[in-house]
């Protein structure tokens, strides 16, 4: 049954594919080129790792800048 459950997580792609040269992330899905390239081969566990990374990147991007 576990095999049947693999590869069910949706892709974070939102069809806004443009790489940001400054941080190396896609401006649409906040993934790296490597994460985009391997997505189709990953089991759900690996996809969850990427989803967590995306959430952390989004939170960091939305956080107010810290001025000393």
Domain ranges, residue 32? 18-58
Are 29 and 54 spatial neighbours (Cβ–Cβ below 8 Å)? Answer: yes
Does residue 27 lie in a domain region?
A: yes
Does residue 26 lie in a domain region?
A: yes
Q: How far is 59 from 25, CA to CA, in rounded Å?
A: 14
Whether the predicted pLDDT of 17 surpasses 80 = yes
Instruction: State the pLDDT confidence band at 2, using cuts at 50, 70 and 90.
Output: very low
Residue whose token pair is 């759900």: 44
Does residue 67 lie in a domain region?
A: no
Does residue 5 lie in a domain region?
A: no
pTM of the predicted model, to two decimals?
Answer: 0.81
Does residue 8 lie in a domain region?
A: no
If one counts the domains in the chain, the total is: 1
Does residue 50 lie in a domain region?
A: yes
Does residue 31 lie in a domain region?
A: yes
């Amino acid at each position: 049954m576990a095999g049947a459950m693999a590869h069910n997580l949706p892709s974070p792609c939102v069809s806004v594919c443009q790489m940001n040269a400054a941080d190396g992330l896609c401006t649409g899905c906040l993934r790296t080129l490597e994460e985009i390239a391997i997505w189709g081969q990953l089991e759900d566990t690996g996809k969850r790792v990427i989803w967590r990374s995306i959430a952390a990147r989004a939170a960091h991007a939305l956080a107010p800048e810290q001025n000393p």
